[in-house]
Chains A and B, each alone.
Chain A
Amino acid sequence: MSIVPMGPYHPALEEPYKIDAICEGELVTGCNIQVGFNFRGIEWLAERKNYTQDLALFERVCGICSNVHTLTFSRAIENLAGLEVPERAQYIRVVVAEAERLHSHLLWAGVACELIGFQTLFMTCFALREKVMDVLEAISGNRVNYAMNRPGGVNRDILDPASVLEAVKAIADVTRTRLIPVMTTDATVRARCAGVGVLTREQAIAWGAVGPMARASGLPQDIRIAEPYEAYDRLSFDVPVLPDGDVFARVVVRALEILESCKIIEQALEQMPAGPFRGPDFPVIPAGEATARIEGPRGEVFYYVVSDGSDVPLRVRVRTPTFANMPTVQTMVKNQNLADVPLIQASIDPCYSCTDR
């Protein structure tokens, strides 16, 4: 038996964390995962800042999915305070959330292509991602940390829906004609990913897997459908689910979700009514506790907030999708080749900053 350490700093890992792969020759028999290298004590800090400051704090839980955190935190406060979100703001939230999903999935697809050794597709994915970044910048003024959400509404309107629509149609077109055909039929992608790193349906439930990870293991789990929020109950879209549970299924699920997000944005922009979007400047947060969850790009994001009626929360709990998905690597790498470990860990679309908070 030998132990092969990877990380905490390693070319295959975008952020610091550590896997010790336990091997018999080239065969992996298990692994230990060490996280906490990005621990910033965000839950600790949240108990010491007021709600407005906490919004900025939670935007920084994740560098890619910053929006989902302010959205879930805002929704928890709205549940606590009984705030109604204006209809236009609900649609704006959907557009930004789905653009963020596009950004996240395209970024992941690019990184996965690079790991597979498919450089041209990597460039295609990153060129598409750039279009999404331009859209988010045009809406919010920022490429990351969009500062769109506030309890009871959003901070900015979408002033030029036509340009967003045009960009999204272009992304959908390239995804449909180039990305999905290559990702689903190319022999290199299939050879590298099919049958690798399997997570069965039963394992996915027991380990608490969420998002595309769960859906690639045959679980039709999506908070946008199960517990619709914002304007999702007025929009038509499919939730791709595959039964295989391998890396290939995760690739395909995410690729198909890119198209679904484009579909959602197009509908949301077409249906978005005129009207107010901001919500109250200083909402009163009563004493009590509330939960909220939304479907982020990597899966379910969960927040718990408890208030004593002051402007500083007593406790905020943040459960990010990677916190739920990352431990599954321990079961997925068993009886796999050592060379596949980087690909298996990458297939969960991990975010260690989110995990560590």
Chain B
Amino acid sequence: MIVDGIPAALGWHGSWEQHRGGLWLEVPDLDVRSMATFMRENEVRLITMTVRPEPSGGYRFMYHWDSDGSLMTVVTIVTGGKIASIADILPAADWVEREIRDYYAVEFEGREGMKSLMLLEGDEPGLFSRTAGLGHDIDPADAARMQEGETTKEVDR
């Protein structure tokens, strides 16, 4: 697969930017299912997905791909707490999506009844979001079961 041709093949505006460990491209209206289908057909491997909260709300979703040794990161912003699942297209996404839900309570459309991966059965998803204001002296295992507002210690940056 020729990496340079991927943005045009998927109808994305712009081209890869090479910096800090790989190729990056931000795609505002990303159709993740078309991307996953294209990548699978062209033997591009999903490395993982990274999510982090945006200061203005919503989440920054990063899909990290490998094509013949080239590391590509496709970035999109997700608002509304929902994004389409790609796990039925690429099984490599199955555990990643479950883990993201565990940490940020993001819902993956098309995956009803999704089980948690890291958290215990019955634990509320969104561990990282729910405990964002907690300090380093809290055990994350306790934090998982802690109700919002029980601890007020702020992160000391």
Contacts and interface: CB of A to CB of B under 8 A. Distances in A.
A315 B47 contact: no
A306 B155 contact: no
Nearest to A324: B92
Interface string B41-55: 001011110101000
B140 A317 contact: no
Contacts of B22: 291
B101 to A, nearest CB: 13
Interface of B: 20-22, 40, 43, 45-48, 50, 52, 62, 64, 66, 68-71, 73, 90-92, 94-95, 103, 116-120, 127-128, 131, 135-136, 139-141, 143, 155, 157
Given A290-B21, A291-B20, A306-B52, A48 B136 contact: yes
Contacts of A314: 52
A225 B66 CA distance: 14
Nearest to A226: B69
6 contacts: A39-B118, A41-B143, A79-B20, A304-B64, A306-B52, A324-B48
A293 interface: yes
Contacts of B118: 35-36, 39, 356
Interface residues of A, number: 46
A64 interface: no
Nearest to A288: B20
Contacts of A35: 117-118
A80 B47 CA distance: 20
A227 B45 contact: no
Interface of A: 35-36, 39-41, 43-45, 47-49, 75-76, 79-80, 205-208, 221, 223, 225-227, 288-293, 300, 302, 304, 306, 310, 312, 314-315, 317, 319, 323-324, 326-327, 331, 356
Contact of A76 (B21, B47, B62): B21
B119 A208 contact: no
A306 B75 CA distance: 14
B126 to A, nearest CB: 12
